Structure 1
Amino acid sequence: MTPVLDVAGLVKHYPLSAAWFGRARGQVRAVDGVSFAIGEGETLGLVGESGCGKSTVGKAVLKLIEPSAGSIRLNGEDITALKPAAMVAHRRRMQVIFQDPYSSLNPRMTAGNIVAEPLINFGIGNRAEQQERVAALFGRVGLRPDQRDNYPHEFSGGQRQRLGIARALALGPSLIIGDEPVSALDVSVQAQVINLMMDLQEEYRLSYLFIAHDLGVVEHISHRVAVMYLGKIVEVAPRAALFEAPRHPYTEALLAAVPVSHPRQRRRRLVLKGDVPSPINPPSGCRFHTRCPIAVERCRSEEPLLVADTDGHAAACHLREPAR
């Protein structure tokens, strides 16, 4: 079956300009060869520390920024090189839920007009049909239809994010990219929004690229999880396999930092040394070797490949190569 989203060798480099004459004096290698696919009705969680490139991946997939190299296929169609005018036809099929519900909504528009705006832009239905669709979406995401005349400042943070979800659903997309969609919300509200997204996924067969740094949230919503470090995916696996038996030392370190739910639970403590290297001049070989507690000489000179085993579990680590 053709995946809803198929990303291959995605690269995004930002040139650095010198102070004199604007000459390039290097590049920020924000994303450096990322590949993944998402099937119908599937959620891929994309996790990693701040600055690892995960939000840049989301922006590149949405064509909000142009990739430097690689390919992006949406429902089997290559959209990589499409210009903005040609992308209009594909915008209906992929939408985004932004991180901050306070800044992603126009404060001068009513809630009803915010959700109706995509329908108006694409000329879907007449005025009455649009209003009927908006009312139905309000009810589906847990808002009252009579709140359509309210402005964003009259909603709580969780309600604003529900409003953002309704806007994303308006055009009936097949793919929704959530860029840290619950990180700005209280913990209790996070659970409500995540459960809503899961219910909507089941109802509409939505596919999600769920970008986050909170592994607890990712474990709850994702079918598969991809871990990024310094512009590259270092491990990808089905959710249970990754959380129960991680293979990459970086993934182990991330999981070791997650609070446990019961005092009798124990995780092997793994403390990373040093700081994350600069994406302007990433380390040779394995990019994680400068902080890895088990690195050997081979890690410093040879870049490990991300190759999956028969169970779909892949780790880019010379010392943890999966069985094939």
Structure 2
Amino acid sequence: MLLEVNDLRKYFPGPSGWLGKAADHVHAIDGVSFAIQEGKTLGLVGESGCGKSTVGRSILRLIEPTSGTIRFEGTDITGMASRQLRALRRRMQIVFQDPYSSLNPRRRVGDIVAEPLLVHGIASRSERRAKTQALFERVGLRPQQMELYPHQFSGGQRQRISIARALALGPKLIVADEPVSALDVSVQAQVINLLMDLQTQEKLSYLFISHNLAVVEHVSHQVAVMYLGRIVEYADTKQIFDRPLHPYTQALMTAVPMPDPSRRRQKQHLGGDVPSPVNRPPGCHFHPRCPLAQDRCRSEDPMPREVEPGHQVACHLA
């Protein structure tokens, strides 16, 4: 197993209360567990604010987790020192959501892509340039474009530059944090196909964070559905999309457009808003919006359980 995450939690200090009294913590991640095999993709889906991006950044230790265990290639990296982690970062990279804000507008894109090689002291100057040229060609850009600045590229081209930078050190795992949500639909397809081709060629593993279920179904081998900092359903992609068991997952599935206009899904509208991660509801956190909620759901917190081989659900009614 390439990556194993067990009971990961991240709590942020809440805003100060009345007369400076400390408020409760924001439970951004609250007991998340999953695994990613080498060469596979795990799709992490859920509404905005559910903690998806915090999970990705905590795995890379860009955000320090509050508790839990992160094992990469069999090594526990949760409390690893900065010097040891620096060497490990070569094999763990990230592609951010906004391809413009993640690139330094004052530097040429060739220097941006070559920077990881410089920081880690890999190769001479001429070798770095040759490798950068090869990376540009691999992601579908021309080496002549290395001398340009980020504002001279389209959004899709900027995301290709971000992907080239992530590939520079030869990683095994890439956290793709909403990598196509800021792009036009036609450009999204090109970038997704590029990521899938790179996975085949380099045996890459992805944690693919997205709210677009159609994209997740296309690229993922497994899917984890998050709600309010927790994974409520986790299974192979076919199991999730053919037979969703959690009421929240079922509601999300009804929002996916059907490619055949003659077919329609019966939409399930969720009432209310997502509860605050500071003052979470007792029992099942989803019960205020769940059309099937019972008394047990309002008082007893459901634990993830395997209802069929490889299919875990945190719901009393599944």
Question: What TM-score does the superposition give when structure 2 sets the normalisation length?
Answer: 0.97
CA distance in 2, matches of 1:244, 1:281: 34
Greater Cα shift, 172-181 or 122-131: 122-131
1:189 paired residue number:
187
SS at match of 2:301: coil
Deviations 1:69-121 (A, max 9, x none): 10111111111112333310111010000000111001111111111100011
Equivalent-residue separation in structure 1 for 2:104 and 2:18 (angstroms): 39
Aligned-partner residue type, residue 231 of structure 1: G
| Alignment of 1:289 onto 2:290 | no
Partner of 1:15: 13
Q: How far 1:295 sits from its partner (Å)?
A: 1.1
Determine which of 304, 309, 319 is the counterpart of 2:302: 304
**Residue in structure 2 matched with residue 248 of structure 1 by the alignment:** 246
1:113 is matched with 111
Instruction: Measure how far apart 1:24 and its partner are.
Output: 2.3
What corresponds to 2:38 in structure 1? 40
Superposed CA offset, 1:24-80 (max 9, x none)? 221111110000000000100000000101111011111111111101111111111
- Counterpart position of 2:98: 100
Structure 2 counterpart of 1:75, from 73, 76, 81: 73
Amino acid at match of 1:96: I
Do 1:7 and 1:34's aligned partners in 2 also have CA atoms closer than 8 Å?
A: yes
Paired residue secondary structure (1:298): helix
Counterpart code for 2:305: V
- The unaligned stretches of length 5 or more in structure 1 are none
Deviation at 1:216, TM superposition (A): 1.0
Retained in 1: the 8 A contact 2:17–2:23? no
Are 1:45 and 1:226, in contact at CA under 8 Å, matched by a contact in 2?
yes
Secondary structure of the residue aligned to 1:219 is helix
Residue number among 52, 55, 76 corresponding to 1:54 in the alignment: 52
Contact 1:17 1:23 in 2 (8 A): no
User: Aligned-residue CA RMSD in angstroms?
Assistant: 1.3
SS in 2 for 1:300: helix
Percent identical = 62
Indicate conservation of the 8 Å contact 2:304/2:313, yes or no. Answer: yes
| Cα offset, 1:268, TM superposition | 3.0
Amino acid at match of 1:130: R
The aligned amino acid for 1:141 is: V
Match of 2:205 among 204, 207, 211: 207
Q: Is contact 2:199–2:205 with CA below 8 Å preserved after alignment?
A: yes
Distance (Å, rounded) in 2 between the aligned partners of 1:291 and 1:17: 26
- Note if 1:134 corresponds to 2:132: yes
Q: Kindly tell me: are residues 19 and 275 of structure 1, through their superposed partners in 2, closer, same or farther at Cα, counting changes over 3 Å?
A: closer
Unaligned runs of 5+ in 2: none
Give the superposition deviation at 1:267: 2.1
Contact persistence 2:307–2:313 (CA under 8 A) = no
* Alignment-derived partner of residue 157 in structure 2: 159
Check whether the contact 1:44–1:223 (CA below 8 A) recurs between aligned residues. Answer: yes
**Partner residue of 2:218?**
220
CA shift at 1:182, angstroms? 0.5
Separation (CA, whole Å) in 2 of partners of 1:80 and 1:153:
37
Q: Is residue 176–residue 208 contact of structure 2 (8 Å, CA) maintained in 1?
A: yes
Change in Cα spacing, 1:129 to 1:307, as seen in structure 2 (3 Å) is same
**Whole-Å Cα distance in 1 between the matches of residues 53 and 187 of structure 2?**
22
How far apart, CA to CA, are the structure 1 residues paired with 2:156 and 2:146?
16
Bigger mean CA offset, 74-83 vs 263-272: 263-272
Deviation by residue 1:102-142 (Cα, 9 ceiling, x = unmatched): 11001111111111100011111111111111111100000
Partner-residue secondary structure (3-state), 1:203: helix
